[in-house]
């Protein structure tokens, strides 16, 4: 994602320190940047949109006695990126980390969820910051550097989930594959002998018929083991090339497996 940054001039920033003669906050070489801090606006929901967001932050930060917007950048819910201190000036966003850290506010307050567009823009800024500095910057929420609620629970979790840019787009539609039919488990030899009367005899008989080995049934198949069952099984076993006890008409596990394969 290429990023486009709305400059201070474009959003209508006042001169640094509200003084045309001010040279503004000190410069920081990119080589000194090692961290990327994410912030929110604070405990109150943001209702402003567009440039008004920046002007309000600027007014507040002038009120703190700062040179202007203290964040390096601000990202709004539409995914716009606004220049604050930019890439090259010392920030005013987290004591002790204003030189090492690039500070970015996602313009939400308490109770507001960051939009996918905002998160994608913030992540794009992070990637650009890594590219420009030539290193992998540490991902931090404000409270990793200072005792504060900032950046709120959602953004903090997002930062520590590795700042995912968005849900991955599946490369192809995912249709659940049909589960392969699996052969039923062999119920045991004792289910198939004279006197046996159970559902497995019926299951066996139905399968024999389906596979073309039902010619000895005059009735059924049914749950009561019969000579017809035995002879049909025998026919199936002989068709496997088996002889002798292997073709005695009483199904074992291998007969069952082949019959239901
Ligand atoms: Zn903060």
Strands (DSSP E) along 171-245, which ranges?
none
A 10 A CB-CB count for 15 gives 13
Q: How far is the CA of 142 from the centre of ligand 1 (A)?
A: 5
Supply the CATH number for residue 233's domain.
Answer: 1.10.101.10
- pLDDT score at 167: 52
Enumerate residues 6+ apart whose C-beta is below 8 A from 165: 1, 119, 120, 123, 124
> What one-character DSSP code corresponds to residue 74?
E
Which residues partner with 42 through β-bridges? Answer: 109
Q: How far is the CA of 93 from the centre of ligand 1 (A)?
A: 6
Q: How far is the CA of 148 from the centre of ligand 1 (A)?
A: 7
Q: How far is the CA of 119 from the centre of ligand 1 (A)?
A: 16
The verdict on 36 and 114 lying in the same domain is: yes
Is residue 46 in some structural domain?
yes
Helices (H), 84-222: 116-133, 152-160, 199-211
Please, which pLDDT band fits residue 102 given cuts at 50, 70 and 90?
Answer: very high
Its domain, for residue 224, covers 189-260
Strands (DSSP E) along the chain, which ranges?
5-6, 35-39, 73-75, 81-83, 101-106, 138-141
Supply the CATH number for residue 36's domain.
Answer: 3.40.80.10
Q: How far is the CA of 141 from the centre of ligand 1 (A)?
A: 8
Query: Cα separation of 11 and 246, whole Å?
Result: 88
Q: How far is the CA of 43 from the centre of ligand 1 (A)?
A: 11
pLDDT in tens, 127-157: 999 999 999 999 999 999 999 999 999 999 9
Is residue 177 in some structural domain?
no
Counted domains in the chain: 2
Q: How far is the CA of 150 from the centre of ligand 1 (A)?
A: 5
Whether the per-residue pLDDT at 169 is higher than 50: the answer is no
Whether the per-residue pLDDT at 26 is higher than 90: the answer is yes
The verdict on 202 and 83 lying in the same domain is: no
Collapsing DSSP to helix, strand or coil, 123 comes out as helix
CB-neighbour burial class of residue 114 (10 A; exposed 0-12, middle 13-18, buried 19+): buried
Is residue 182 in some structural domain?
no
- pLDDT score at 70: 98
Query: Which of 160, 180, 201 represents a domain boundary (last residue)?
Result: 160
The verdict on 87 and 209 lying in the same domain is: no
Averaged pLDDT score across all residues of the chain: 92
Q: How far is the CA of 39 from the centre of ligand 1 (A)?
A: 4
A 10 A CB-CB count for 30 gives 13
């Amino acid at each position: 994602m290429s990023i486009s940054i709305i400059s201070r001039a474009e959003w209508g920033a006042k001169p640094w320190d509200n003084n045309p003669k001010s040279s503004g906050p000190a410069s920081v070489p990119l080589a000194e940047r090692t961290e990327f801090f994410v912030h929110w606006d604070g405990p109150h929901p943001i209702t402003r949109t567009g440039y008004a967001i920046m002007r309000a932050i600027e007014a507040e930060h002038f009120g703190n006695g700062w040179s202007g917007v203290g964040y390096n950048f601000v990202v709004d819910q539409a995914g716009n990126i606004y220049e604050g201190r930019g890439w090259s000036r010392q920030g005013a966003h987290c004591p002790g980390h204003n030189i090492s850290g690039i500070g970015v506010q996602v313009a939400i307050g308490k109770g507001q969820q960051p939009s996918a567009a905002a998160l994608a823009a913030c992540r794009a800024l992070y990637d650009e910051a890594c590219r420009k500095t030539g290193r992998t910057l540490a991902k931090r929420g404000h409270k990793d550097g200072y005792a504060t609620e900032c950046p709120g629970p959602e953004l903090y979790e997002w930062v520590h989930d590795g700042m995912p840019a968005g849900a991955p787009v599946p490369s192809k539609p995912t249709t659940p594959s049909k589960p392969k039919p699996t052969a039923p488990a062999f119920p045991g030899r004792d289910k198939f002998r004279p006197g046996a009367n159970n559902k497995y005899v019926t299951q066996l008989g139905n399968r024999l018929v389906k596979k073309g080995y039902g010619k000895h049934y005059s009735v059924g198949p049914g749950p009561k083991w019969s000579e017809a069952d035995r002879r049909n099984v025998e026919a199936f076993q002989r068709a496997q090339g088996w002889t002798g006890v292997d073709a005695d008409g009483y199904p074992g596990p291998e007969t069952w497996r082949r019959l239901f394969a």
